[in-house]
Amino acid sequence: MSPTCAITITTHNRREDLSRTLEALTRLTPQPTEILVAVDGCTDGTADWLRTSYPQVRILVHEHSFGSIPSRNELAAASTSDLFVSLDDDSYPLDPDFISRVSDLFSQNPHLAVASFPQRSDEFPESLTSVDFGSPLFVGSYANSGAAIRRSVFHKLGGYPDFFFHAYEEPDFALRCVAAGWQVRHEPSLVIRHHFTLAQRNELRTHQRHARNELWSVLLRCPMPQLFALALFRLLRQFGYAWKRGPHWAAQEPKWWVAALQGIPRCWKYRQPIPWSRYRAWLMLVRQPIHTESEWTAKFGRGLP
């Protein structure tokens, strides 16, 4: 039997974008087994609008914003499907048969944990007219604005760290997947349209959260003694990026340093280091994706279906 497939979306005060996405989802054939939306601290009437306009959608309502990461964890926990497709409220599949093809992809690849898809995104205008998104690759990260995830693996590996709030949950989860032998694959045969609205986005804030969470991931996953060198490298690299963006960005870097320091006790409490051989292999995978199944198996082995 083919695995069932849900669609999960988290939203915060972007009702117009969500409306466009849900309208696009009505064109999918077959339909997903369920659509779940986390209404995360919305003050624009999103929850009431959903109840009226899309009563078939299951909604999880947060009176105050919990963040995209806790919301995605809740969506995965609430889903009853074998797979869940993670979208943003401004992204949706372009292929009408997307659901059946995702289901077939996971059915034919029992060691696949995450499938990511190329995006036609306003953030990268050249992608809007691209006709070739390359060949399938095994990769070390993905984007939650367009990815399908095997729910059993997501739960087995513990989902995302809630305290990350937003950003960097994807590479942290991909690391745990590949370390356990589960595959993360970029599948270019299916495409996501990502409008990438600027509403509720702040580049500097996102950078600071990404940098903080990247460091926290090192504390959570990297073994000793390599942890110290890698943590310093991450800090210096993020400062270098901020410096390139200008004096204002560089002057704001201490804000995330302080936030990162405050989170160290929690990281240490939940620390689950990964053997260095696998951690290093993942670092290399992020930089150099793998093209063949045999090379993947040689480096990471197999997960358990």
Residues of the chain with pLDDT under 70: 197-201, 302-305
- Residue 75 and residue 10 in contact, taking contact as beta carbons nearer than 8 Å: yes
pLDDT for 211 equals 97
pLDDT for 304 equals 60
pLDDT for 130 equals 87
Cis peptide before 171 (omega within 30 of 0): no
How would you label 251-265 residue by residue, b for 16+ Cβ within 10 Å and e otherwise?
eebeebbebbeebee
- Residues whose CB falls within 8 Å of the CB of residue 164, separated by 6 or more in sequence, listed in order: 67, 69, 172, 209, 213, 216
User: How many of the other CB atoms lie within 10 Å of CB of 48?
Assistant: 12
pLDDT for 200 equals 60
pLDDT for 297 equals 87
What's the chain look like in SS3?
CCCCEEEEEEECCCHHHHHHHHHHHCCCCCCCCEEEEEEECCCCCHHHHHHHHCCCCEEEEECCCCCHHHHHHHHHHHCCCCEEEEEECCEEECCCCHHHHHHHHHHHCCCEEEEECCEEECCCHHHHCCCCCCCCEECCCCCCCEEEEEHHHHHHCCCCCHHHCCCCHHHHHHHHHHHCCCEEEECCCCCEEECCCCCCCCHHHHHHHHHHHHHHHHHHHCCCCHHHHHHHHHHHHHHHHHHHHCHHHHHHHHHHHHHHHHCHHHHHHCCCCCCHHHHHHHHHHHHCCECCHHHHHHHHCCCCC
